[in-house]
A and B are shown apart, each in its own frame.
Chain A
């Protein structure tokens, strides 16, 4: 069964450093998402991406964050200058080619980001 994959599984970085989290969505999916979950808290939406553009973003997704689909298979989240409060699990999700907003989103296993 096709699945969303994410690398690395755990990233440790120093405050102020740039990090790139990588995701490979399900191959025929066209809509991509990033969510995050701070330890012990709810899963929070960050951004949605379609046709090489951000279609929606949350207040969390400020200028320090960016997303990119550099090729036909990868989807990345970049944090330019990490802060301690960016420590969280980051989940990538994707959904299929149907245009319905209700189409099921499938999540990857997550990247645990630890900022020291």
Chain B
């Protein structure tokens, strides 16, 4: 599975959009981009995933660049409860079923 690079930490004001970038420049055509988050030692929580089209659900939007080498997770109106570590994970259908977590981005939403 392709390697991902994320900033170590980010800050966001409550009520504003949080845009979390992820670089996956070696991604291949059959690899998906997944986002999970972990709120203070709780179990990782699935957020969203996509292949090449932008995706939106009740939690977030995922914007994948046309060359698929990077993506951005958008939390449209961040709340204090969105403070967490966010993980960008690349997975392929033919690869292992295990999730490989990096260090992620620690997002702090400030009042």
- A residues sitting closer than 8 Å to B (CB atoms) are 4, 31, 33, 35, 37, 42-45, 48, 55-56, 58, 89, 91, 93, 100-102, 104-110, 112
Having A4-B43, A35-B99, one finds 16 other A-B pairs with CB under 8 Å, namely: A31-B97, A43-B44, A43-B87, A55-B97, A56-B96, A56-B97, A58-B98, A89-B41, A91-B44, A101-B94, A102-B32, A102-B49, A105-B46, A105-B99, A108-B43, A109-B43
The reply to whether B46 and A104 form a contact with Cβ atoms under 8 Å apart is yes
The reply on B91 being an interface residue by CB < 8 A is yes
10 A-B pairs (CB sep. < 8 Å): A4-B43, A31-B97, A33-B98, A43-B99, A93-B43, A100-B93, A107-B46, A110-B42, A110-B43, A112-B41
Q: Interface SS of chain A: helix, strand, loop or mixed?
A: strand
Binding-face segment, B4-12, B71-79, B100-108? B100-108
The reply on B38 being an interface residue by CB < 8 A is yes
Q: Which residue of A lies closest to B46 (CB)?
A: A104
Instruction: Give the complex CA separation of A62 and B99 in angstroms.
Output: 19
Q: Smallest Cβ distance from A47 to chain B, in angstroms?
A: 9
The reply to whether B43 and A45 form a contact with Cβ atoms under 8 Å apart is no
Residues in A with CB closer than 8 Å to B32 are: 102
Among the interface residues B32, B38, B44, B46, which one has the most CB atoms of the partner chain A within 10 A? B44
Closest 8 CB pairs of A and B: A107-B43, A45-B98, A43-B101, A101-B97, A107-B44, A91-B43, A104-B46, A42-B101
Instruction: Given A48-B97, A101-B93, A102-B93, check contact A107 B49 (CB 8 Å).
Output: no
Q: Which residue of A lies closest to B43 (CB)?
A: A107
Among the interface residues A102, A105, A109, which one has the most CB atoms of the partner chain B within 10 A? A102
- B42-55: CB near A (< 8 Å → 1, else 0) gives 11111001000000
- B19-57: CB near A (< 8 Å → 1, else 0) gives 000000000000010000010011111100100000000
